[in-house]
Chains A and B, each alone.
Chain A
Amino acid sequence: MRETATVRRQDSIQTRLIGMIAVTLAVTLLVNLFIYRQVALMVRTIDAVFASNVTISELTEDLDLVQDHVYEYLNTKSSVALEGYYRYVQEYHDLIEQLNGKRVDSEIKLLEKNIRNMSERYLELADETVQAKRGRNVERYKECYTELEDLFHYINMHIEKLNSLQFELNSRNYQFLLSAMRILEVLSVGVIAALYFFCLLFIYLLIRTMIQPLKSLSIAAARVADGDFAVDIPPVGSADEIGVVTNTFRQMLESIRAYIERLRTSMESQAKMKQNELKMEANLKEAQLRFLQAQINPHFLFNSLNAGAQLAAMEDADATGVFLERMADFFRYTIKNTDGSSTLEEEIASVDDYIYILNVRFAGDITFCKQITGDPGNRRMPGMILQPIVENAVTHGIRDMIDRGRISMSVDCEEDMVRVTVEDNGVGMTKEQIGEVLSGNYHSSGESDSTGIGLENVRNRLMLYYDQEDLLTIHSDGKGMGTEVTVLLPGMNTDGD
């Protein structure tokens, strides 16, 4: 949980928001800078367009200066004029070097070539004129100067034409650039407006993407607040704070659901246990009620029997003493074990006591066989289980045929199970009777001398004790065919524990 709750810095909403704003601002800035650059480039191009006219003007000025200085030198032969001549010749030469010298497919460029060649011829002629003056060749320098003047005039005319053509072209270019600038202006405004729109759209979409899980979460939280824990929150892919909160909320909701489920199961289990407890209590109450119905005060009876046994000993009536002693043992066991557990050995002893008492009562007519296989040891089991079964065999099975009646009990001790079978050769039972007995609906008359614990009670207590059904089964082949009651006692031998 601690890991999922941690948001990496690059995933946090803060970083993403800053990133988004930075991207939009950067893009806007870049596009603006780009537009500014393009406009500046166009302005520079316009400047460059008119720069050519400036160069042409310089050409005319320098040519005039060369011509003036040649004239002055020829007129005065002054060294200042000569010096000026050389300086301006150099300047003019540098300027004409910049003019086109190729046979290019352009009127302007061809004109530049012509001016350049004419100027070179002019400079050659000017030099020849100056040299002739230096050499005092009057006729030659006059002749050359005349030619020079003509050439000067021609060059000027051509420069003028070049200037005019250049200006015409530049004006066209200027007009073209101006219209391009206007289009650029409109387009720039359009681009900025479109960019602004897309910025807004971009911000809206990004924020919506970020906020959408939060909105879903708030709706889900409202439903949870209303008690609807079954709300389904779709998983969020983003690893930002909202993603973390949403995922954590989902996990929390799942934990709450699991906790509620566990609580419900636990409560159901407790309710069941409570129900079992109540049932057991009811059975015990029933058993106790039977005791009360028998109107016997077991402690009084037990104490009385002990007193009788002591009296018999004093009178040397040994048989009476044994009888009373075994009566006392039987009732002690009954008192002790009606609401608790006992051992298999004690149970068998209780059955022996009960048969002994009955045989005394019925002058030894009841034939009781007991067979124990294995060691019963200290196996724990609910008390007062076997005696009521044997009692049931006596009272219902062989009651009317005591002299011929025979009851056999076999105890088969295995490692994880003890099988106790009580069989009689009495009146037997129909299937309906067996069903009624097991369901507790069988009511027979004349139970005044019973211990008061029915087979249904035995069966219920076995079920509650072992939390397992069908531990008591009754088998009979029908009327007159005897009855066999089998009790299964699960559980390991706890002897020695």
Chain B
Amino acid sequence: MRRSYIWTVLFLFIAVVLASALWILSERSISEIQVQGTGLHVYKRHYMFVSDDHSEQGETVFQAAQSAAQESDAAIEWTGQGLAASYTAAECMEIAAAARPDGIILFQNQSDDLSEQINKADELGIPVITLLNDAGSSRRVSYIGINSYQMGDIYGEQVLRVLDGASGDVLVLLPKTPGGESEGLLYTQLLRRVEEGKQTGQKIVFSTYEVNTMSSFDAEEDIRDVFVSGGDLPSVLLCLDPVSTECTNQALVDYNEVGNLAVIGYYASENTLQAIEKGVLAATLSVDAEEIGHIAVEAMNEYCETGHVSNYFNVGIEMITQKNIKQYREQKRPGNQTDTGGSSE
């Protein structure tokens, strides 16, 4: 009798074990589905990143901003990404404002005037921070970017170094923008620095060429024209935006002009750095995109928490040549990055 009970209990135990195994498996499967909707982390803040720069620079800035946002318990989205239609920065600003995030970080490569959109966002109570291209007349809460004066100075210095006392003509590829205040300031300082630094008898002639970086594919066509127009190529070619730099780099190779002219680019993308190492490009101006992204989020956090933030954050720039490229790469290697920190003004 007692043995019968033991068998019964054993049998029931086995049945329960089998059913439990089945239950655990199915419940786990179901819970993995449900986890998509529930139990997710809720962020403290939600920012929107608006940018018309889809180059490596833009990506780096966004990734750095994302990383900084994660650290400060905030979510950041790139407005307009993944939509069926592509939108301009102005349209993205409208979208971002309508979505009512806690803040908008505007990284505008072209110098479109988005003051109206910035003001509209401000009216809706959404603070806007601009990166690299400022909208000084708007009600943006802060600007993080490069000092145009300093930039012109460094470019001028590099032009003198490239020409090394020889005479030559310099072609500056200016992005075609409606405003172009910053480029104007940069160009003026460039001229001033070269004028001050050139040697006696050294004749340096400056000319400009507008590159349409606002619409897709036009920049490459414009730069191609420089190489195939039949005219003499300049001694030095200055690029002031990443797209022009990339296009020029490719054109030098395509038209077999490597070594025939010195190209000073903008932004240290991997392609550009490799071109410098190979001697295709003479130098490039490095802007610390990661620093920009970090500072942008930190500034936005500060504004959201305190209601005010510094009006302007300066980001460090550096000219990379064949001489210091190894050192630069060493610095940028993961783990060796030093916190440069933006200087606010």
Q: Which A residues form the contact surface with B (CB < 8 A)?
A: 11, 16, 20, 23-24, 27, 30-31, 34-35, 38, 41-42, 45, 49, 102-106, 108-110, 113-114, 117-118, 120-122, 150-151, 153-154, 157-158, 160-161, 165, 169, 173, 176-177, 180, 183-184, 187-188, 191, 194-195, 198-199, 201-202, 205-206, 209-210, 237-240
Q: Given A114-B99, A187-B25, A237-B2, verify A154-B40 contact (CB < 8 Å).
A: no
Identify the closest chain B residue to A109 (Cβ). Answer: B40
Check B15–A45 contact: CB distance below 8 A: no
Q: Given A157-B85, A191-B19, verify A205-B29 contact (CB < 8 Å).
A: no
Check A105–B75 contact: CB distance below 8 A: yes
Check A38–B33 contact: CB distance below 8 A: no
Identify the closest chain A residue to B74 (Cβ). Answer: A103
Which has the most chain A C-beta neighbours within 10 Å: B7, B98, B101, B124? B98
Q: Could you give 22 example pairs across A and B, Cβ below 8 Å? A: A30-B19, A41-B30, A45-B30, A103-B44, A103-B46, A103-B75, A104-B42, A105-B40, A106-B40, A118-B95, A118-B98, A118-B100, A121-B124, A154-B91, A165-B82, A173-B36, A176-B29, A180-B26, A202-B10, A206-B4, A206-B8, A239-B1
Q: Which of B52-77 contact A (CB under 8 A)?
A: 74-75, 77
Which has the most chain B C-beta neighbours within 10 Å: A105, A117, A154, A165? A154
Nearest-CB distance from A228 to chain B (Å)? Answer: 29
Q: Given A41-B30, A104-B41, A109-B40, verify A31-B15 contact (CB < 8 Å).
A: yes
Q: Given contact pairs A49-B33, A176-B32, A238-B4, enumerate 10 new A-B contacts (beta carbons under 8 Å).
A: A30-B15, A31-B18, A103-B46, A118-B99, A153-B85, A157-B83, A184-B22, A184-B29, A198-B14, A202-B11
Residues in B with CB closer than 8 Å to A194 are: 14, 18
Identify the closest chain A residue to B30 (Cβ). Answer: A45
Residues in B with CB closer than 8 Å to A161 are: 82-84
* Cross-interface CB contact of B21 among A24, A153, A191, cutoff 8 Å: A191
Check A110–B75 contact: CB distance below 8 A: yes
Which 4 A-B pairs give the minimum distances between C-beta atoms?
Answer: A180-B29, A114-B99, A103-B43, A117-B100
Check A113–B46 contact: CB distance below 8 A: yes
Q: Given A103-B44, A110-B46, A198-B14, verify A154-B94 contact (CB < 8 Å).
A: yes
- Please, how many angstroms separate the alpha-carbon atoms of A295 and B21 in the complex? 115
Residues in A with CB closer than 8 Å to B3 are: 209
- Please, how many angstroms separate the alpha-carbon atoms of A153 and B87 in the complex? 11
Secondary structure at the B interface, as helix, strand, loop or mixed, is helix
* Cross-interface CB contact of A45 among B25, B33, B100, cutoff 8 Å: B33
Identify the closest chain B residue to A173 (Cβ). Answer: B33
Check B11–A198 contact: CB distance below 8 A: yes
* Cross-interface CB contact of B19 among A31, A41, A103, A176, cutoff 8 Å: A31
Nearest-CB distance from A380 to chain B (Å)? Answer: 66
Check B43–A104 contact: CB distance below 8 A: yes
Residues in A with CB closer than 8 Å to B44 are: 103
- Please, how many angstroms separate the alpha-carbon atoms of A151 and B46 in the complex? 20
Residues in B with CB closer than 8 Å to A150 are: 91, 94
- Please, how many angstroms separate the alpha-carbon atoms of A105 and B95 in the complex? 20
Nearest-CB distance from B127 to chain A (Å)? Answer: 16
Check A122–B98 contact: CB distance below 8 A: yes
B205 on the A face (CB < 8 A): no
B228 on the A face (CB < 8 A): no
Check B84–A154 contact: CB distance below 8 A: no
B253 on the A face (CB < 8 A): no
Chain B interface category by residue count? 35 or more
Check A176–B33 contact: CB distance below 8 A: yes
Check B11–A23 contact: CB distance below 8 A: yes
Q: Which B residues form the contact surface with A (CB < 8 A)?
A: 1-4, 7-8, 10-12, 14-15, 18-19, 21-23, 25-26, 29-30, 32-34, 36-37, 40-46, 74-75, 77, 82-85, 91, 94-95, 98-102, 124
Nearest-CB distance from B138 to chain A (Å)? Answer: 19
Residues in A with CB closer than 8 Å to B33 are: 45, 49, 173, 176-177
Check A198–B15 contact: CB distance below 8 A: yes
Residues in A with CB closer than 8 Å to B10 are: 202
Check B15–A195 contact: CB distance below 8 A: yes
Q: Given A105-B41, A191-B18, verify A151-B30 contact (CB < 8 Å).
A: no
* Cross-interface CB contact of B15 among A27, A104, A108, A154, cutoff 8 Å: A27
Identify the closest chain B residue to A46 (Cβ). Answer: B33
Identify the closest chain B residue to A179 (Cβ). Answer: B29
Residues in A with CB closer than 8 Å to B23 are: 34, 38
- Please, how many angstroms separate the alpha-carbon atoms of A184 and B41 in the complex? 31
Residues in A with CB closer than 8 Å to B99 are: 113-114, 117-118
- Please, how many angstroms separate the alpha-carbon atoms of A209 and B4 in the complex? 7
- Please, how many angstroms separate the alpha-carbon atoms of A123 and B6 in the complex? 71
Identify the closest chain B residue to A184 (Cβ). Answer: B26
* Cross-interface CB contact of B25 among A108, A110, A117, A183, cutoff 8 Å: A183
Check B30–A34 contact: CB distance below 8 A: no
Check B18–A151 contact: CB distance below 8 A: no
Nearest-CB distance from B66 to chain A (Å)? Answer: 12
Residues in B with CB closer than 8 Å to A154 are: 91, 94-95, 98
Residues in A with CB closer than 8 Å to B26 are: 38, 41-42, 180, 184
Nearest-CB distance from A306 to chain B (Å)? Answer: 90
Check A121–B100 contact: CB distance below 8 A: yes
Residues in B with CB closer than 8 Å to A122 are: 98
Residues in A with CB closer than 8 Å to B83 are: 157-158, 160-161
- Please, how many angstroms separate the alpha-carbon atoms of A158 and B80 in the complex? 9
Check A157–B84 contact: CB distance below 8 A: yes
Check A102–B42 contact: CB distance below 8 A: yes
Residues in A with CB closer than 8 Å to B34 are: 45
Check A105–B43 contact: CB distance below 8 A: yes
Check A202–B8 contact: CB distance below 8 A: yes
Which has the most chain A C-beta neighbours within 10 Å: B14, B15, B32? B15
* Cross-interface CB contact of A117 among B11, B41, B91, B98, cutoff 8 Å: B98
- Please, how many angstroms separate the alpha-carbon atoms of A176 and B75 in the complex? 28
- Please, how many angstroms separate the alpha-carbon atoms of A177 and B82 in the complex? 27
- Please, how many angstroms separate the alpha-carbon atoms of A382 and B124 in the complex? 148
* Cross-interface CB contact of B4 among A16, A176, A199, cutoff 8 Å: A16
Check A103–B8 contact: CB distance below 8 A: no
Residues in B with CB closer than 8 Å to A202 are: 7-8, 10-11
Check A110–B22 contact: CB distance below 8 A: no
Check A209–B7 contact: CB distance below 8 A: yes
Residues in B with CB closer than 8 Å to A158 are: 83, 95
- Please, how many angstroms separate the alpha-carbon atoms of A287 and B21 in the complex? 103
Nearest-CB distance from A161 to chain B (Å)? Answer: 5
